[in-house]
Amino acid sequence: MKPTASKASAAEDRPVGDGTSVHLGPLAELVGYSLRRAQLAVFQDFIVKMKDFALRPAQFSVLAIIQANPGLKQSQVSEALGINRANFVALLDELEHRNLARRAPSPDDRRSNALYLTPQGEAFLAEALQHLQTKHERRLEEVLGETGKRQLLDLLQKLASLG
Amino acid sequence: MKPTASKASAAEDRPVGDGTSVHLGPLAELVGYSLRRAQLAVFQDFIVKMKDFALRPAQFSVLAIIQANPGLKQSQVSEALGINRANFVALLDELEHRNLARRAPSPDDRRSNALYLTPQGEAFLAEALQHLQTKHERRLEEVLGETGKRQLLDLLQKLASLG
């Protein structure tokens, strides 16, 4: 650790479990690396806070998208979330098994399935969202500040539409 | 799409390939979801721009960490980067196979390997970093603006030290 710890230099080192401080070198200034580190920390907090719901971030996102777009096709949901097909099928199998979501033949494309929440899924998602907002998202807002969260979402939106 | 498209409402929908607009519902305002979407877009840009180097983001990070900390133990590098052990071993095997990095017995722990770049790895990383800065990172800076990038890195740093 450097003796003159400024805000910037604090981010250049990363402590690991055995007390060693690992220098990040050029990584500390790269957007992609910083995004990944933040995402891992935020997902970890999500998983811990949502333990009683046995809900991973991707499962939550799928339920939320289905609720906001009932009847959407499987392929549209997986594309909107950037989840690859194989992982998405397994994820959906689990949500069906837990009786939270269901597949039904798509009215306008017989080769494709349309997705819906079950009544149980609707109730589960409402409760999960409430818990998420008060336990997880509020914690992030404390860390970022209200203005900081707004700035962050705007900047992330710019990156998401990079393509 | 809502007729009164404000900055915020534009982020609430996500177009998919077939022209459908998927409503994001509560996801649009969640930090974790927004981080994930931005990270996927940024990593995609990284992969495209670094195609000639056949370098994925995780491989690049490992090379950069080894260069900044020659002789660091395998477990310390994987922990610093948040890569799980099995994936890390496979990743390192590939870097060794390409003669970019090498394992050597750790001087202070015989059960563990210390990691070094090869001379070829040093030259490769220098060239890759140069290419990355001019092709990928500069593009992100154009999208974010200079102040925006600084703000983003500061906010992401706050989230990364959430634990």
- Domains annotated for chain B, with CATH where assigned, are 31-160 (1.10.10.10)
Q: Under 8 Å CB-to-CB from A11, ≥6 apart: which residues?
A: A24, A28, B153, B157
Query: Which site among A7, A34, A75, A109 would you substitute to test the B interface, given the most B Cβ atoms closer than 10 Å to its Cβ?
Result: A34
Q: Under 8 Å CB-to-CB from A78, ≥6 apart: which residues?
A: A84, A85, A88
Whole-angstrom Cα distance, residue B96 to residue A38?
29
Q: How many residues does chain A have?
A: 163
| B150 CB within 8 Å of a chain A CB | no
The confidence score (pLDDT) of residue B11 equals 61
Whole-angstrom Cα distance, residue B19 to residue B146?
33
- C-alpha R_g of chain A: 20
Residue A161 has pLDDT above 60, yes or no: yes
pLDDT bracket for residue A9 (50, 70, 90): very low
Query: Which site among B14, B23, B30 would you substitute to test the A interface, given the most A Cβ atoms closer than 10 Å to its Cβ?
Result: B30
Q: How many CB pairs under 8 A join A and B?
A: 210
HSE value, Cβ hemisphere, 13 Å, CA-based, for A106: 14
pLDDT bracket for residue B98 (50, 70, 90): very high
**Partner residue facing A11 (CB), from B11, B132, B157:** B157
| A140 CB within 8 Å of a chain B CB | yes
**Partner residue facing B22 (CB), from A57, A76, A161:** A76
Q: Are A142 and B18 in contact (CB under 8 A)?
A: no
pLDDT-wise least confident of A96-100, B69-73, B87-91, B110-114: B110-114
B34: left (phi over 0), alpha (psi -120 to 50) or beta: alpha
Query: Phi and psi of A22, rounded to 5°?
Result: -95, 125
The confidence score (pLDDT) of residue B130 equals 97
| B147 CB within 8 Å of a chain A CB | no
Q: What is the dihedral angle through the alpha carbons of A93, A94, A96, A102, rounded to the nearest 10 degrees?
A: -60
Taking an 8 Å cut-off on Cβ atoms, the answer to whether A33 and B139 are in contact is no
Q: Which two tokens stand for residue B82?
A: 């948040």
Residues 69-108 of A with CB under 8 A from B: 69, 72, 76-77, 79-80, 82
Which residue from B115, B156, B118 is spatially nearest to A27, judged by alpha carbons? Answer: B156
Query: Hey, what amino acid is at B119?
Result: P
Q: At what angle do helices A85-97 and A74-81 cross, to 10 degrees?
A: 110
Taking an 8 Å cut-off on Cβ atoms, the answer to whether A34 and B80 are in contact is no
pLDDT tens column, A59-72: 999 999 999 999 99
Can you tell me the ipTM of this complex? 0.88
With tokens 């260069």, the residue in question is B67
Considering only residues A112 and B43, tell me which one the structure prediction assigns the higher pLDDT. B43
pTM of the model: 0.87
pLDDT-wise least confident of A6-20, A55-69, B68-82: A6-20
| A129 CB within 8 Å of a chain B CB | yes
| B41 CB within 8 Å of a chain A CB | yes
Taking an 8 Å cut-off on Cβ atoms, the answer to whether A42 and B32 are in contact is yes
